[in-house]
Every structure is written in C-alpha cells, then in structure tokens.
Structure 1
Amino acid sequence: MTSPSIPDPHTWIVVPLYNEATVIGGVIRGLLPFFPHVVCIDDGSTDGSAEEARQAGAIVIEHPINLGQGAALQTGLDYAVSRPECEYIVTFDADGQHRVEDARDMVAAAREAGAAIVFGSRFLDDRTKPGWIKRVILKTAVWVTNLTTSIKLTDAHNGLRVIRRDAAAQIQLKQDRMAHATEIVLQLGHTGLPWIEHPVELLYTDYSKSKGQSVLNSVNILVDLVVR
C-alpha cells in the first residue's frame, strides 16, 4: 500500500540529528513533497548539520550540547504536539536508512485502522537484510524489551514510528542513549491506546552502518538495556 502523492499537512516528521551533514539534506528533500512539516532536532552537531537541514527546508531546533537521541526525540515530540494542526507524528532517522514510502504507508495504516501507534518492523517480511549476527542480537533485544513492556513487538529498536497526537502527549523520555527505544515502547504501552505493527524495509548502506547500524551498535543496545 502506498498513500496518495498528496502532501499531508497534519503529520509532522521528527528527525533527531547528530553529525549527518553529508546526507541530511537529501533525507529532508525526499520527505518534503509528502510531509511539508519536517522538524530536525540538532543534538549538538559539530559538522554543520543544522545549517544543511535549514537549507533543505526543515525547521531546526538546536540543543547547545549533545544530550542523546532520547532527549532529541522528546524535544521534537514536544514541539510537534504544540502545533495545533498536528494529528500524527512520524519519528524518522537522519542517516537515510528509512524509506519515505514506508512512512506514508504507516500514516495511512494508522488512519485506516484507528491506531494511535504504528511501529515499523523490519522482521515482518524479508526485504531487510541485516546479516545473521545483527539479526540474532536485535531479536535478543526484542526479547528483553518484550519482557519489560506490555507491548509485544517483532522489532523493538526501529526508529520509524507513527504516533498519534494523544499518545505523543503522554511521552516523557528520560533515557538519553539507545535504551530510550525500550522506554518509548513502555510509555506507549502505558497509554492503553491501540497499536499495530507495519512491515518496513531498512536500507543498510555503508554510510548508515558507519553511523550506528553496525553489529557493535547492536551490542551497545543490549548493554544499555541491561544497565539502564
């Protein structure tokens, strides 16, 4: 399913941004024809990412120092919820690993199903090729997350999510590193609002791997889960 190619004025895209100057412009330009409201939270970048995002057409909110992805997400969610025209929020990674088509389909699925939350899952079909070591580690992370939350997912650490305004207003993230991905699932579960999963494809490029999609980063996810 692909939603019509009409700009959606009621959905805000929230992009946590940290040192992605070489790719963020292309990510934003890919989003804007379909989602005219893109807000990037620049989390203390030192490579000119904020200016690249502005030039590409995004609203940019800057953290003066690096606070972590959880803090950047919370800033973006708070900003989007403050906008009266906002009905849905899409969290979208800055490194180019997410597909705009998947974001469009997930928003359409949320509206059709009446879901307050749509979680993207790379494990609902076979398009994404993470490699067997990364797959095992991510599946372990799913198992750990599912033990501690009321929402049982197939992919707990996928940054592509759709969150309806009423659900987003109840999120208050405190975890700053990768453990925020489990924290957001936990808090969304506590809302009691309806949720679904939706198949998505993650694009593992050499660049995205170098920026956090490596096997080592998957190990760090597990470490964060254990020590949080």
Structure 2
Amino acid sequence: MESIPGNVTVVVPAYNEEKTIEDVLKALLERGYRVLVVNDGSRDSTPEILKRMSSRNDRVSVYTHVINRGLGAALRTGIRAALKEGADYVVTFDADGQHDPDDIERVLKPLLEGSADVVIGRRDFEDMPLSRNLGNTIMNLLTLLFYGCRVSDSQSGLRAFTSRAASLIDIKSRGYGVSSEIIGEIRRNGLRMCEVTIRTIYTPETIAKGTSTSVGIRILLRLLLNIFRKI
C-alpha cells in the first residue's frame, strides 16, 4: 500500500510467540502500519522482544496482561486501546505468522469504499490441515446455530473494522469463542459485513494453534453450559 488512508491500527494478540512475533511485526511496520500488541501473559521471551521493538519504533505500542487471560480478553484490550489511541480503522492480525500482511489491503478495501463496516478474511478450507478444517467447520455451524449468522470463515483472525463498528463490538468471551461472538455482535448491531479471500501460511506454529476439532467441541460444551445456566 503506497499510502495508508486515515489511521489504521493493527491489533496483534500475542501469547508465547517468541518464534514468530518479531518477523510479524517487522512485516507490518515495513508496510507502514501502526501496530498495537497485547502481550497476554506470555512466559517465553515474547515480552523482551516486544520491549526491544517498541523502544526502537514509536509505531509499536504494547499492552500487557500480567496473566494469560485468553484470546477474547486480548482482543478486547487491543480494540479498546486502538480506539482510545484514535484509530480510524482497526485490523486484527494473528501473531503466529499465518497471515500475509499484504492481505490487509484486501480487507480494508470495502471499508474505504464505504460498502462494509466489518470485513472478515476468508481462508481457503481446501488447503487447510484436516483437524483445522473440521474444527473451523464445527465453529461455522455453531455460529449459525447460536448467533443466526451464516459465514464462510467465522474463526478467521484477520478482520477489519471501521472505528464506529469496533466501538459497538462488545466482547465478553475470554477464549476462542470470541470469533463467533464477534460475528454475533456484528449482527446484533446491524453492521454491514462482507468476506474477502485471503492467503493462509501454514507452518508448525500456525498448525499448533487455532481452532482444532477438540477446541471446537470444548467451545460447544461451554455454550451449552451457558444456556443451561440461564434456564
């Protein structure tokens, strides 16, 4: 992107990402983005890497959870901080290296054109490892069942929001269930959403994390437990 329109802040939740976080941040900075990292109680060298990078570049902000609070809590902290810092557009971006930073342009385009309030990066399920494919398919079905929203990739970590849309998303989930919750919040607030195709980079690190079949089943059980508690 030759010039960044408005103020785009890329929110990167990070938990024990010492193998990938430096390269991910460098790639984002090289493309001119402001980066806001939420260190979610990492116990490896992630905090030291972030301290070094933020001290050398004023376009890197770091917010820290003293203990690991989960992906949902990290996204909540990051999105709120980005808005407080004056972001016009907020992009969420995984720290494990699975996203192509050049795809940020693709998810921003519908927002800049005024045709959407939120954009979800849609991954290619045919290229996805089987356990991830099944896990994400389960979560797409759960998103439809519990939130009434049919989307192709409810669990994608690459998303873009206008500042108004980001301010309306009320995140309560602490773990991976946050991705489906965000879809539900989009519907609840009547926001315009679209999906655009993105590239996914599969490495041992990216395969080890994310929504596997077992994670999808655990999220289903939590959702059912919450329903029974309300009865």
Report the TM-score, using the length of structure 1 for normalisation: 0.88
Moved over 4 A (4+): none
Alignment partner of 1:140 is 2:141: no
Q: Residue by residue, what CA displacement relative to the aligned partner does 1:2-50 show, whole Å, maximum 9, x if unpaired?
A: xx33245511000101010121010000001224310000011111212
The Cα shift of 1:176 comes to: 0.9
Structure whose residues are more often helix by fraction: 2
Alignment partner of 1:18 is 2:20: no
**Does the 8 Å contact 2:131/2:213 carry over to 1?**
no
Q: Residue by residue, what CA displacement relative to the aligned partner does 1:100-124 show, whole Å, maximum 9, x if unpaired?
A: 111121112321243110011114x
Higher mean C-alpha displacement, 47-56 vs 161-170 = 47-56
Q: Residue by residue, what CA displacement relative to the aligned partner does 1:32-85 show, whole Å, maximum 9, x if unpaired?
A: 12243100000111112122123334211011111111000000010011123x
Paired with 1:36 and 1:61, the residues of 2 have a C-alpha distance of: 17
How many corresponding residue pairs? 218
Q: Match of 1:65? A: 67
- The one-letter amino acid of 1:43's match is D
The sequence identity of aligned pairs, in percent, is: 28
Paired with 1:101 and 1:64, the residues of 2 have a C-alpha distance of: 32
Judging changes above 3 Å, is the alpha-carbon distance between structure 1 residues 9 and 53 closer, same or farther for their aligned structure 2 residues?
A: farther
Residue segments in structure 2 that go unaligned for 5+ positions in a row: 224-231
**Does the 8 Å contact 1:43/1:62 carry over to 2?**
yes
- The one-letter amino acid of 2:219's match is D
Map 1:85-164 → 2, pairs under 5 A = 86-123=87-124, 129-164=127-162
Which residue among 216, 220, 223 is the counterpart of 1:221? 216
Which residue among 44, 49, 73 is the counterpart of 1:52? 49
Residue segments in structure 1 that go unaligned for 5+ positions in a row: none
Cα RMSD over matched residues? Answer: 1.9
**Does the 8 Å contact 2:186/2:192 carry over to 1?**
no
Map 1:145-224 → 2, pairs under 5 A = 145-210=143-208, 212-213=209-210, 217-224=212-219
